[in-house]
Amino acid sequence: MSVSIKENIITLDTKNTTYQMAVNANGYLAHLYYGSRLDGSSAADCSMLGYHSLVPLAYDGCSSELSPDVCPLEYSAYGNGDFRTAPLMLSFSDGSSVCDLRFEDVKRIEKKPLLKGLPALHDEAGKSESVEICLKDKIYDLRVYLLYTAFEECDVLARSVRVENRTGGDIVLNRVLSTCLDNYECDYDFISFSGKPNYERSLNRIPLRELKLSCESRRGTSSHQNNPFVIFCSKDCSEKSGECCGAAFVYSGNFTASMEKTQIGTTRFVMGINPENFRFVLKDGESFQAPEVIHTFSNSGFSGLTHNYHNVIRKHLFRGKYADAPRPIMLNSWEATYFDVNCEKLLAIAKQAKKIGVDTFVLDDGWFLGRQSDNSSLGDWFADEERIGCPLSRLISGINELGMKFGLWFEPECISENSILYRNHPEWVLQAPDRKGMLGRKQWVIDMSNDDAVNAIFDMMCDILDNNNIDYIKWDFNRYLTDVYSCRLPAERQGEVLHRYVLGVYSLLEKINARYPDLLIESCASGGGRYDCGMLYYAPQIWASDNTDPLDRVNIQYGTSFCYPIISVGSHVTASPNHTTRRNTPLLTRSNVAMAGTYGFELDLTTLSDGEIEILKKETEFYKAHASLIKDGDYYRLTSNNERYIAWQFVSEDKKHALAVLVQTRNNINYKPIIRRLEGLNANTKYRVIIDGAEREGEYTGTALMQIGINLRTIKYEGESTRIEIEAI
């Protein structure tokens, strides 16, 4: 049993962890413990930390030693004497903002419920166990429901919050965060993954001191600048050892995640929807469902944490055909043709793509009515036969006759001023009254909180998808949200627009998935500007970055790997010199880096020599032979991203096969790299080693490979790479 309820103590166990809470003498739900599995033990003594001067005293005669200012709480509200960051802040109809949540009830839930209108971990097999706890304000009939689900085999705990108004009047929600985790220690490092367009998800590790540490997005998406995934860990935590806890937000809009050190040397971590410009009106009888946070704890360093996240996302977040099916190898036309979408040229590239083993040909931006540049036509999702040079159906037939499937690019959330849709419905744009909206990439954003707009976009997309043989779509979004105002909502509800926008995006994605269950959707937001668990629920792969330079990509993919499965990482072989950085890199390095992802191509294959085509054919064959290992294997980071080279490794579940890659990111001066301490092998198994296609003489035990490593024997220079296969004998 994963869930245990004994007297006042509630325990959730996974294979290796325990999460425990208790109702204390004041009636608060106190946090007791989250860490390595306790096997039936109780941490109940931790709920009382002792009296400290100047803390507010409880007004109901209960023990002052349990003041909410020092008590570790599962969920807290503003105004009750808890001066730490309150996960809940609201106003009642009388203007009061004081809320004091006490334990009301707890119940088991047989099957993890879906969250209405929101992505979340799912469990069709019923292997998880859930508990729902009700907290209630002492004066008003306001109820807060805390849902916890333990995924035992994945060592993961999912948390979410639902606020229900039974007060008889309106309440205004100003902050509803999804998780609150109080810890008894403060000697932590806080790790976030920040960046910018073309250089997303760089690891930042900062020691926790007296000031609050936080990361957030205010851009309407989860953003290039900060990712909604963080880690807090012990000072000595490394890839292989030390304690760490992760929090991944299953949401694609504005978020906040923060950790603070308290006056008594404890810590509080919170995560949820960013409260900036969030103001949600809740009528009597209505409820508000906050998104889910996925937690995991590892006492075996970052590798253990990564494996937990990769497993739970692959098994319980991905959905549909491609949750487990091999991902197609695709060629995307963008860097090959840009807006020049001539049928003859596209088919010529497709014929070369067939030679190298591509499964799916993707027509990117430029195929729809009047789209000759980014100045016009977004919103007019009708094929421009004159520009393409033939009906879209004929182009698709030509691709299909070559034995490949066909994919198409959309940007459903944006609109050009020069478009039929805008001329017919200017009110469907996010735009404040009497103000000219701000352009981003020469386009505006459609009000996705408007059901009429969402339904119109859905109908246009269906007209294309119903009448053409399309197996894949790339779902792009190339700007941030500004001028956040919906003409469909009254003044007092404009603080709901940002959240309702995200719900509208999810609604459209859900409708597309439901109507076309075999369609593969790849999400993109100017590259990795919306790389989060929310989008992975609808689109099981995400274009990691518009920067395809392999020496930059290894760093981008390094940070991405801490939470997100490798098979979710959209990654392509592109031209050299690279179109973004103008840097030259060897073809095999570009291929090796792209293999740490979904693997595909984005270049004009007609410009390559016969020799290069033959190399890529062999590379595609190699990837297909190792696709299941890359998709399902355990992933290890063999180096940090601060060394002269970056190396990573995949290991099969039975530990009989492994694949390691090294990319030299800086020039060697009197230095020969040795891959040290391979990971995840069986210590006593004998392996053979193949380096760049040539078998190394001798047999190697798992112990030798993990404790000594492999001497590459040849010096690698900046931009070069090495691929190592390890096979059990």
The rounded distance, in Å, linking the Cα atoms of 17 and 718 is: 43
Q: Residue 628 to residues 1, 94, 309, 659: CA-CA distances in angstroms?
A: 32, 60, 18, 12
Residue 100 is a catalytic residue: no
The rounded distance, in Å, linking the Cα atoms of 153 and 136 is: 33
Residue 611 has a CB neighbour count (10 Å cut-off) of: 9
Main-chain dihedrals φ then ψ at residue 691, nearest 5 degrees:
-110, 115
Strand positions, DSSP E, 303-460: 330-332, 360-363, 405-410, 414-415, 444-445
The rounded distance, in Å, linking the Cα atoms of 685 and 664 is: 29
The rounded distance, in Å, linking the Cα atoms of 546 and 531 is: 12
Contact 90, 99 (CB under 8 A): yes
Q: Quick one: which H or E segment has residue 676?
A: none
In the numeric block, the tokens 């409708």 are attached to: 511
Which has the closest alpha carbon to 146: 158, 129, 128? 158
Q: Which residues contact 66 (CB under 8 A, 6 or more apart)?
A: 24, 25, 26, 28, 30, 47, 48, 58
Dihedral of the CA atoms 272, 273, 275, 276 (nearest 10)?
Answer: 130
Residue 532 is a catalytic residue: yes
DSSP 8-state code for residue 493: G
DSSP 8-state code for residue 669: S
**Which residues is 161 bridged to in the sheet?**
146
Q: Is 464 left (phi over 0), alpha (psi -120 to 50) or beta?
A: alpha
HEC profile of 511-534:
HHHHHCCCCEEEECECCECCCCHH
Catalytic residue among 359, 532, 546, 679: 532
In the numeric block, which tokens belong to residue 510?
């859900």
Catalytic residue among 141, 284, 340, 612: 612
In the numeric block, the tokens 């088919």 are attached to: 347
Q: Is 684 exposed, middle or buried (0-12, 13-18, 19+ CB in 10 A)?
A: exposed
Instruction: Give me the active site residues, please.
Output: 532, 612
